[in-house]
Amino acid sequence: MDSVLLILLSTILLVCLKTYIDVRRAVRGNGNRPGFWSLVSCFGTLGFMFKEPRRGLTGGSLRFWRRRHLDFDEAGVDILTHISFIPNVRACLVLADAAAIKEVTSSRLLFPKPPYPALRVWGGNIIASDGEEWKRHRKVSAPAFSEPNNRLVWTETVKIMLDLFDNVWGSQDTVTVDHVVDSITLPVALFVISVAGFGKSASWQSDLLPPPGHKLSFKDALHVVSVDMFIQVACPKLLWKFAPTKRIANVKLAYEELEQYMLEMVQDRRKTEKKEERYDLFSSLLDASDSDSDVNVRLTDRELLGNIFIFMLAGHETTAHSLAFTFGLLAMHQDYQEKLYQHIKGVIPDDRLPTYEDMNKLTECTAVFYETLRLFPPVVAVPKVAAEDTSLVTTDFAGNKVVIPVPRGQELQLAILALHYNPRYWDDPHAFKPERFHGDWPRDAFLPFSAGARACLGRRFFETEGIAILTMLVSRYKIELRDEPEFANETYEERWQRLFEVKQGITLAPAHLPLVFKRR
């Protein structure tokens, strides 16, 4: 018994000693940078699964929402080291310095993105690839995001909003929703990605019956996949195979159905002798791949599915959550909502429907949308890794130049949320001030779409859809907070904390946002 206890204690001592040595090595590797530690990394799948931060235990991905720029304020410098211990000791450089982040995003070969094997659901794609494979995906994917596609996005978004006003809300002067994501922004984004992404019309009244050979309608399959995407990404292969719970079984079925729909779309498109001019992403992607003279560039059917899956992932949930935050902010700030309304009426004074040509004139809509993305960036951090030994330079808050060694293999996280709340770049960073996006503003400190060669290809798609929805809604309805007597005496700060409580899905999302829409 004494021998067993001795062996156990010796093992624990050796593990502790190794951990200590690993931590010291990790800290020294980054020049003994200040920072913070947690048992489980704030990044990656494990950190993603923790809902609430626990100081000293785990930060979880929501730690950055709670702290924003506070870790950097306390350290007095905008590049920190994050140490975690499970599943092994890891040291990650966390950047909230705009110049250093620009250097990283501008050097794709020196600072590549790590692979995302979990996102290869159907095949390789533009997000889960790098190097020559990424170049091939980008060559085929980039032309799909064209001006004709943007125009299609605008036109279809306006139609979908009209359908909502005329056939769902109808003659109601006041519409109250318990959660704006579930009731409005997620369905609208679903319909837009359906028609502009897949070329399949969907509306509030569309037929929900599945066609022959299918168990789900296209609309239902797309909805389940988009809402419960994380289940597939995080679910172990064995659980996914046997689907032990009803929810996992439903998600698995939706993935199978959506895959079948997309393969049928590929076959139908290729069988058509005279191809009509279509500008949805799926058709453009298929045409670009099939027509490329270099057979080594063409995408396989699995890769076509993989890319359209990524476009849906990036364009559907992101839009829904960003618009929900936008509506909530306007409900909180009635003065700015009135300013926005008057601006829209100034650009479109005759009550006609807004056109794609109006978009660049709707500068106040863009400012409101950008300020929302600054306060609530969809992704709180972007991962990179150093391909070789190098260094980064920053300046601490006392004005001293600091050179930080970055060894080969070093993990980095571009802390987008902390950057957006960095008082070095943004005056009164916690306040809602859309006017900051008029005139000159710090573009290098605004990265909701990332930056450099790996920046989001669908930025214009996203902006077009968002501004069209915002314009249509504010021009016809006033957005207000739901009257809740139990919160009648709360302060502005308390109301902000309550309304903008967030949860971490694939992107940052409002937990519960009840709103009222009143016809103007």
Binding site members for heme: 456
Alpha carbon distances (Å) from 452 to 102, 111, 113:
8, 11, 12
Q: Enumerate helices (H) and strands (E) in the chain, giving the number of each.
A: 22, 12
C-beta atoms surrounding 343 within 10 Å? 19
Binding-site residues from annotation: 456
What whole-number distance in Å separates Cα of residue 380 and Cα of residue 59?
Answer: 13
Helix (H, G, I), strand (E, B) or coil at 120: coil
Alpha carbon distances (Å) from 349 to 165, 345, 437, 448:
20, 5, 24, 32
As beta bridge partners, residue 503 has 509
What whole-number distance in Å separates Cα of residue 420 and Cα of residue 414?
Answer: 11
Task: Give strand ranges (E) for 291-435.
Answer: 382-385, 390-395, 401-406, 411-414
Nearest to 269 by CA among 200, 315, 203, 191: 200
CB 218 within 8 A of CB 194: yes
What whole-number distance in Å separates Cα of residue 194 and Cα of residue 179?
Answer: 22
Region for 58 from its dihedrals, namely left if φ exceeds 0, alpha if ψ lies in -120 to 50, beta otherwise: beta
Q: Which two three-digit tokens encode residue 519?
A: 């016809």
What whole-number distance in Å separates Cα of residue 66 and Cα of residue 69?
Answer: 9
Q: Which two three-digit tokens encode residue 403?
A: 């050179």
CB 225 within 8 A of CB 121: no
Largest pairwise CA distance in the chain: 90
